[in-house]
Amino acid sequence: MGGNQIPIVPVTGQVMMNDEPVAQAIVSFENARTGFAAMAVIADDGNYRIRSQYGDGIPPGEYVVSISPPSTRDELDKRIPLTPIQAKIPRKFHFSQSSNLSASVKEGKSTFNFQLGSSSTDRR
């Protein structure tokens, strides 16, 4: 690694709600201290991999996490319907200030699984 290169940690995981994958929604990681943020589109199986301007991963740190439906408008401002699971994502998860989801990203591979709509959230 070069002298000024920022260390990057690959971040992956899965987002489920009531045991169903939260497909095609957006998962966002935001570091409130540094202002750095990155996001990923959640795949059909609920899995995600965060990529950022630094490559395949994000810098280590404490992150707040939000999970929100994709945009509901296309480039012509026509309405795009949400899938049933996207429409059920509770509004509190749409915003990092209210989601109560967090991730402590450390050196090495980090996996963060989130279960929405339940009292248990697995953070590893």
Q: List, in order of start, the domains of the chain with CATH numbers.
A: 11-116 (2.60.40.1120)
Q: pLDDT at position 53, please?
A: 92
Q: Using CA atoms, how far apart are residues 16 and 114, in angstroms rounded to an integer?
A: 6
- The tens place of each residue's pLDDT in the chain, 124 residues long, gives 445 588 899 999 999 998 899 998 999 999 989 999 999 999 999 999 999 999 999 999 999 999 998 866 656 666 666 666 777 888 899 888 899 999 999 987 799 999 997 444 444 4
Q: Using CA atoms, how far apart are residues 120 and 88, in angstroms rounded to an integer?
A: 18
56 touches 95 (CB < 8 A): no
Q: Say what the pTM is.
A: 0.82
The dihedral built from the CA positions of residue 89, 94, 99 and 105, taken in this order, carries a sign that is: positive
The dihedral built from the CA positions of residue 93, 85, 51 and 74, taken in this order, carries a sign that is: negative
**Lookup: tokens for 102:** 């967090």
Q: pLDDT at position 122, please?
A: 42
Residue 114 in 3-state DSSP?
strand
**Lookup: tokens for 99:** 């989601």
41 touches 70 (CB < 8 A): yes
Q: Using CA atoms, how far apart are residues 23 and 45, in angstroms rounded to an integer?
A: 6
